[in-house]
Amino acid sequence: MKILSQKALASIATAVLALGSTTSVLSQTDTEFSTITLNYMTTPIIDIAFVDNLDLLAPPDGTPGPIVDDDTFCVSGMGFTLFSIVFRNPNNPTGGPFELDSSVPGESPIFYEVFFKNDTSPGPGMMVSPDTPEFGNMIQTAMCMDPTMDNAKFDISIPNAEWTGRAAGAPFVGVLEIMVMAE
């Protein structure tokens, strides 16, 4: 029994020493601070995102009707509620028509119309003129995070008289510049 109690006493002494050293390690502390600053936006921010290219395929000559296509995109902003939008052909002088230029020298361009809608619902919006701002559009989101946030669209329409019989001048290519401005 004497041997057992000496072993038990030694185990208890070891446990007490271990607890004592653990307590001193756990009682050590360190502190860091974080400074939090709140700023207010004083400059309005506007963004246009997710505008895609349009690749059109003309139907066979004799097919009635215009060639139409559309693209949805996102307009976002902070610091204001309304925006204006301008569509233009950067290859034409201010106010010039929307056009697709032939890849064949000497061929005349194909002219097209542009329509804008401040939502993505079916159907075309209102026709716009080159370099003419369309005012009074409501901002619908603060940031364009991904294409699922598209909230506006443009449609293009190439009248039948413009594209019929023009296959020899293909491809026809043009650039449509879209600029948004805070109001």
SS3 13: helix
- Return the H-helix or E-strand segment holding 5: helix 2-26
DSSP assignment of 71-84, as one string?
Answer: EEEEEEEES-SEEE
Residue 83 CB neighbour total at 10 angstroms: 25
Distances (CA, A) of 79 to 118, 141, 143, 159: 19, 11, 12, 40
Distances (CA, A) of 13 to 5, 17, 26, 48: 12, 6, 20, 73
Architecture (CATH level 2) of domain 45-182: Sandwich (2.60)
- Spans of all domains in the chain: 45-182
Residue 98 CB neighbour total at 10 angstroms: 22
Would you give per-residue pLDDT tens digits along the chain (183 residues)? 555 566 655 565 555 555 555 555 567 888 888 989 888 767 889 999 999 999 999 999 888 999 999 999 999 999 999 999 999 999 887 778 999 999 999 999 999 999 999 999 999 899 999 999 999 999 999 999 999 999 999 999 999 999 999 999 999 999 999 999 999
As separate numbers, helices (DSSP H) first and strands (DSSP E) second, the chain gives 2, 11
The Cα 161–Cα 159 span in angstroms is 5
> Which residue in 50, 103, 76 sits closest to 180, CA to CA?
76
Q: What is the pLDDT of residues 73-96, one digit of tens each?
A: 999 999 999 999 999 999 887 778
